[in-house]
Amino acid sequence: MKKNTLKFLLCFAFIFYSLFIKAQTTAPDEDTGSYTTCNADGANATRTSNDLPNPVNLGTIDDRSCYANYKESNVYGKTWGIYNITHNSNNQDSNSLQPRIERALSASQKTGIGSFARFSGIFRILETGKTSSSGSDGSYIAQAKGKHTGGGGSADPAICLYLAKPVYGTGANSGKQVSFNIYAERIKYRGGSGSGREIVFLKNVLKDEETTFELEIGFKQDPNDTSKKIHYCNAIIGGTVFDWNVPEPERATQSKIRYGAYRVKGGRAQIRWANTMYQKAEVDNQSLSIEDNQLSFSSIKTYPNPTNGNFTIQLNHIDTASISIYDVLGKKVFQKTNVKESLEVVNQNRFKTGIYLIKVSNRNQKVYYNKLIIN
Ligand code: CA
């Protein structure tokens, strides 16, 4: 018993010591000096004029800070994008908006099921905006965006922002930012800002801790109502999953992602990004329209559906037809012409688990759709 207690205490002391040492560490690529609003070498003429020729981080630069321009460092075996901004340093919007150095990734412009924008990378946070008001503290490290129909809110609205707020140390570390609480700032309705967003705590990361980050925003079928879809915004931060469904999915028109450093209502923010990757898919929305579904119910019957084996597509009141089957990415995976009355499709592992769209065209080029689920 005593031996176990000793082991426990030693273990605890080691962990505590490790955290203490880590938290005290100054990052090798940290900007540790006193800071100003503007520096001559950070005063880019336009938002995109001072990017590196071949930046290691993906996306189009949006530099709205005269404190620094985008730079890179080679530390911890990786090349890191450096995003440093200070209070009041926006040199692009007449100081009317918060400073930022971010990268914009090309939007997924379709809203069909299977459309998505997916970003991943590794971040380190060295410093975030500091104010005396807790509601104004912190800086955003990434955000999901997307326009919507019907008006309301910003012309280019944020949907879910990932906000890092500073946590200060005690004793020798008093007044120093030793770790950061990561929050999701999510809209409560389309166009919501300020009180129209909710701020949800996600997790704490240490200063300079290499943290993996994945963010995917896109469209999937509502499992409770196949005539509806979900606009999801899912993040995985340091291996922990934080899924969320965006309000009013039917109003969404696109899915976009930005990352870097954005907002510093006091002090300075320093974010680093490495190993950035980006992928997107754009799937037309036709499969879900009510009209298509109504037509399909009377004109095409697919059974069994869902299926894990062979299936039959039966045509009602359609003469000779051409049948094509598409996966969720819109890729044609099957085709058969001159089909009459019905067609049995032998699966033979040709169809992986997922949702497929069956397209039936008759001689007059009238098109009918049906949905197929392989499970
Ligand atoms: Ca700049």
Q: What's the CATH number where 353 sits? A: 2.60.40.10
Asked whether 254 and 108 are in contact (CB, 8 A), the reply is yes
User: Quick one: 84 and 233 in the same domain?
Assistant: yes
Residue 199 shares a structural domain with residue 340: no
Same domain, 46 and 177: yes
Q: Around Cβ 24, how many Cβ atoms within 10 Å?
A: 13
Whether 198 and 340 map to the same domain: the answer is no
Q: Calculate how far, in angstroms, residue 209's C-alpha sits from the geometric centre of ligand 1.
A: 25
What contacts 359, CB < 8 A, 6 or more positions away?
Answer: 323, 324, 325, 326, 367, 368, 369
Domain co-membership, 108 together with 166:
yes
Question: How remote is the CA of residue 65 from the centroid of ligand 1, in Å?
Answer: 4
Q: What is the pLDDT of residue 5?
A: 65
What's the pTM value of the predicted model, to 2 decimals? 0.73
Same domain for 323 and 270: no
Q: Give the pLDDT band (50/70/90) at residue 169.
A: very high
If asked whether residues 212 and 332 sit together in one domain, one would say no
Task: Provide the annotated active-site residues.
Answer: 145, 262
At 190-200, the pLDDT tens digits run 999 999 999 99
Q: Predicted confidence band at 290 (pLDDT cuts at 50, 70, 90)? A: very low
Number of domains forming the structure of the chain: 2
49 and 158 part of one domain: yes
CB atoms within 10 A of CB 131: 15
Whole-number Å distance, alpha carbon 136 to ligand 1 midpoint, is 23
* Last residue within a domain, chosen from 257, 281, 305: 281
| Residue 16 sits in the same domain as residue 145 | yes
Name the residue with tokens 């007449």. Answer: 94
pLDDT at 159: 98
Q: Based on the fold, state whether residues 158 and 250 are members of the same structural domain.
A: yes
Average pLDDT value for the chain: 90
Task: State in Å: Cα 84 to ligand 1 middle.
Answer: 9
205 and 353 both lie in a single domain: no
CATH number at 224 reads: 2.60.120.200
Domain of 173 in residue numbering reads as 2-281
pLDDT at 348: 82
Task: Tell which of 228, 252, 281 closes a domain.
Answer: 281
43 CA distance to ligand 1 centroid (A)? 5
Beta partners for residue 169, in sequence order? 174
Q: Distance, CA 286 to ligand 1 centroid (Å)?
A: 43
Q: Which residues surround ligand 1, an ion (CB under 5 A)?
A: 42, 44, 63, 65, 69
